[in-house]
Amino acid sequence: MIFVSIVDLMVPIFLAFREGLEAILVIVIILLYLKNTDQKFYYKYVYSGAILAIASSIVFAILFTALIEGGFAGSTEQIFEGITFIISGLFVLTLVLWMSKEGPKMKKHLEQKVEYSIETGRSLSIVSLTYVIIIREGIELVLLLAGATSVGALNQIGVVLGSLIGLGISVGIGLVIYFGVKSINLSKFFKITNVILILFVAGLITYGIHELIEAGVVNPIINEVWNIK
């Protein structure tokens, strides 16, 4: 029983670690740039954006969970969940593909944005830059966890616990990078985890289609293929 629980925890741990690490790296890149250019005064803007993004992600998670679990019943619930998970899957897929393309240029892009914000006296732009990037990862994590919970046997306690562990690991790696260990090569890690995320996305979309089939909105094409009467 304990073994099964540990296995179940691995899903939220992995998802939270993967998405959390991406967000943490953004913060570390910006902080290191400010540190190396002797502009630690602007740290507070980075922290403000990060805190706002985390708070917004938690609010989104609560609202999204409440929307999924209540307010609908029967075929209406299946239709709603089907459409929601298909859209969520496509949204996450778009973000994964975009990050795969833009990831290698992310460090330079962030540093240029921060430098421009400081030079033009738009300090709040640093807040919004940090906020937008981290909230994107937060929303992506919520959607992936919601899909994993709906398809699997995860409960909310397991999701929260696993997420905290995964995020804790990502924060630890971020601290290691910030305090001088710069030889960590994460490019291969992100390439591999992107493939795994795409498989999760496929699961989200498949689950959404399944719900629409159950609701009678979409015809079960596979059944028709095997119907040889």
Contact by Cβ (8 Å): 88, 146: yes
Q: How far is Cα 51 from Cα 67, in angstroms, rounded to an integer?
A: 24
**pLDDT tens digits, 145-179:** 887 777 666 677 788 888 999 999 999 988 988 88
In this structure, how many other beta carbons lie within 10 angstroms of the beta carbon of residue 11?
Answer: 21
Q: Where do the domains of the chain lie?
A: 2-226
Q: What angle do CA 88, 92, 98 make, to 5 degrees?
A: 150
Helices marked H in the chain = 2-36, 43-69, 74-102, 106-119, 124-151, 156-178, 187-214, 221-226
* Res. 228 pLDDT band, cuts 50 70 90: very low
**pLDDT tens digits, 120-132:** 888 899 999 999 9
What is the C-alpha R_g of the chain?
Answer: 20
Contact by Cβ (8 Å): 217, 82: yes
Both structure tokens of 161: 């616990």
Is 101 exposed, middle or buried (CB count within 10 Å of its CB: 0-12, 13-18, 19+)?
exposed
pTM of the predicted model over 0.85? no
Q: How far is Cα 22 from Cα 171, in angstroms, rounded to an integer?
A: 10
Exposure of 106 in the CB half-sphere (CA atoms within 13 A): 19
